[in-house]
Chain A
Amino acid sequence: MSKIKYFFEQSWLLIATSFVFGLLLAATDAALAPRIAFNERQKLTTLMSSLLPDAEEFTIAISEAQIAAGKGKMAVTDVYVGVDSQGRTLGYAFIGLGAGFQDKIRLVIAMDASGEKFLGYRVLASNETPNFGSKIKEDYFRGQFVDAPAETLELVKTGDVERIDSQIVAISGATVSSQAVLNIFNSYTRGITQQLRSEGLISDGR
């Protein structure tokens, strides 16, 4: 009995403060969690809106689509559809994740309604070399993806930046980051278009 008494004598403060802190944490979490979730959604929605400017709202077209992302890993991502005020589909958007130079790169990629062209991408999160890899956020590189065909893209060192086709000119001094962006596009495109076709959202005829 005295052992238990000793135990409580020594640790009552610990137990009491753990309880109080637990309550404090639970309260803060409950108060702030909705706002945090809202921030997450807001970030995604803002980027999707900049890719599909006429879209009034974005809803999930395919939730948790499984994409074979290479190296035997399966990536899971939601495919969003942007509809305008008349309910017409303007395009699809999804988050693509891949390994970059320093850390992972997270992109929001948009496709047009027919699933045949890309409408471009926005960088959701990246940690690339400043002034080199970070140029994937700039229009020199990004612009080459707008209206690019939704097929396997190829990285080239030199070429015509203005011409829109499946060849993308790399950022000089940031080949790895440029290739990383292309890898994300290439690994997600086939899987996403396949899923969209099987859901009947885009036509099968090519």
Chain B
Amino acid sequence: MNEIIVLLMGFLSIVIVNNLVLTKFLGICPFLGVSGRLDMALGMGLAVTFVLTLSGTLTWMIDHWILMKIGLEVARYIAFILVIASAVQLVEMYVKKFFPTLHENFGIFLPLITTNCAILGLCLFINLWGVDNLLEAVVLSFGGGVGFTMAICLMAGIREVLNLADVPKCLQGAPITLITAGLLALAFMGFAGMIKQV
């Protein structure tokens, strides 16, 4: 029971309190680029969640069961990025073959996700936080994806309405999106300290 509470707290903490986009600055490029429409944002979010859960788990396993055992920590970054790139490639091939309609709708996001700093970033953060059991790594990666999806959908919702507002010429596009993100981050600051990252 204790275990479950710890995992639940960890999940909530990474979704709300330590949100990947709004507090750790990960995944900003897609956040700015794809958050124009709610359906695209959701698609990107789901794709990221899937890849994140997969990569987070895989990289944790490789880090703990292979790299640390043979003392090859120096190859950590290379191993991580290669795993992530291959995982994304494999997922794309798999989805294209077995779920063609899904591939049509969300497939374009997959190649973009490899250079998404959120993926590598979360894998590195899991490493930094010293997460030492597999289940926690899975929960945190999944939570990271959920948090990203939530943030990008919030942003998409706001931007859709912002399109109808009278934004000054020089603020249109990235500047107003960033300022909105700043206000969102400010709002989320209210959650800080609620659940502590142990």
A residues sitting closer than 8 Å to B (CB atoms) are 21-22, 25-26, 28-29, 71-73, 98-104, 129, 176, 180
Contacts and interface: CB of A to CB of B under 8 A. Distances in A.
Interface string B186-198: 0000001100111
B105 interface: no
Nearest to A33: B74
Contacts of B8: none
Contacts, number: 33
A73 B129 CA distance: 14
B2 A26 contact: no
A168 B75 CA distance: 45
A71 B193 CA distance: 17
Interface in B172-198: 192-193, 196-198
B74 A72 contact: no
Contact of B74 (A29, A98, A99, A101): A29
Given A73-B198, A99-B198, A104-B129, A26 B74 contact: yes
Contacts of A102: 23, 192
Given A26-B74, A99-B196, 6 more contacts: A22-B75, A25-B75, A25-B78, A72-B2, A99-B197, A180-B196
A73 B193 CA distance: 20
Contacts of B198: 71, 73, 98-99, 104
A28 B75 CA distance: 12
Contacts of A21: 78
Contacts of A71: 2, 6, 198
A71 B8 CA distance: 13
A103 B197 contact: yes
Contacts of B6: 71-72
Contact of B193 (A22, A29, A101, A104): A101
B3 A72 contact: yes
B3 A104 contact: no
Contacts of A98: 198
A125 to B, nearest CB: 11
Interface in B59-88: 74-75, 78
Contacts of B2: 71-72
A168 B16 CA distance: 31
